[in-house]
Amino acid sequence: MNPVERLKNDLFGLGLKDAAGALDQVLDSAAKAKLPYADFLADLLARELTVRRERYLKARTRLAHLPFQKRLEDFDFSYQPSLDEGQIQELATLNFAGQAQNVILLGPPGVGKTHIAVALGLKGVENGMGVYFVTAQALIEDLRQAHAENRLERRLRVYLAPKILIVDEVGYLPFDTLGATMLFQLVSARYERGSVILTSNKGFAQWGEVFPDPIIATAILDRLLHHSHVINIRGDSYRLKDKRRAGYITSPFGQKDRTAAQ
């Protein structure tokens, strides 16, 4: 076996598959550029590390259960003037997650609440944080089933472990007493320990309608809001952007609004 083949074998044996695969090419370019030994080795290991990091990020992104992958770079802030871009960029530093603070995104449908939540989640993943995305409805259904099967405590851990838990679409459907109690239990357990990014189409004043009684609504809000960043988006739905441009819509509920039929 010549030295290159032996090296390839050894790299493979050590689990450095991508370095083994890139060896011929890296050797070749190092020879051509007359690179010092250290540079050659650094190039070779960089191949392995880059591929590993990508694979690791992909696996962790999959674990986060994000509904799509969109970033802040994909967000058109000029379309949403009520939104303070500086505040969102500050959140993107993830200081909030380091301090177990919450982010509450409020606004009507289509204004980008889920987009921003997902973008912050992706940032978290890229920074090695555990992230988990779930809709409020799926969360409650899951916990309800776990409760019925006497394994609520164990199941709750799935939602307690991540540094950032994204609970999307609170308020689309009202909670019953058991659902509200389980949400309260979760929010209390995460309080000052991990961040919740929550989105809702209902303002806090309407949360009384979402929960079966005002006491539990207040108790949940109390813990959520204690260390939190509340972002109210008051603009138009981005989904209607092109239709609005085309002149179908003059005002959100104007006479020319034909979207209801679509």
- Least distance to ligand ADP from the beta carbon of 69, Å? 10
CA distance 30 to 39: 8
102 binds Mg ion (CB under 5 A): no
Rounded to a whole number of angstroms, the minimum distance from the CB of residue 88 to ligand ADP is: 11
Binding site partner of 79, from Mg ion, ligand ADP, none, Cβ cut-off 5-8 A by kind: ligand ADP
Please say which residue, 107 or 162, places its beta carbon nearer to ligand ADP.
Answer: 107
Interface with Mg ion: number of residues (CB under 5 A) = 1
**CB neighbour list of residue 165: distance below 8 Å, 6 or more residues apart:** 131, 132, 134, 159, 190, 194, 195, 196, 197
- The alpha carbon torsion through 245, 250, 254, 256 (nearest 10 deg) reads -70
CB contact at 8 A, 16 and 41 = no
Rounded to whole angstroms, what are the CA distances from 93 to 40, 53, 76, 106? 35, 20, 19, 21
CB of 70 to ligand ADP, least distance (A): 5
Report which of 208, 202, 152, 196 is spatially closest to residue 178, judged by C-alpha positions.
152
Asked if 88 and 187 touch (Cβ cutoff 8 Å), the reply is no
Residue number with CB closer to Mg ion (107 or 124) = 107
List 80, 114, 195, 200, residue binding Mg ion (CB under 5 A) = 114
Give least dist CB 191 to ligand ADP, A. Answer: 25
Q: Which residues bind ligand ADP (CB under 6 A)?
A: 70, 74-76, 79-80, 107, 109-115, 199, 238-239
When the beta carbons of 16 and 106 are compared against Mg ion, the nearer one is 106
Residue ranges that bind Mg ion, judged by CB under 5 A: 114
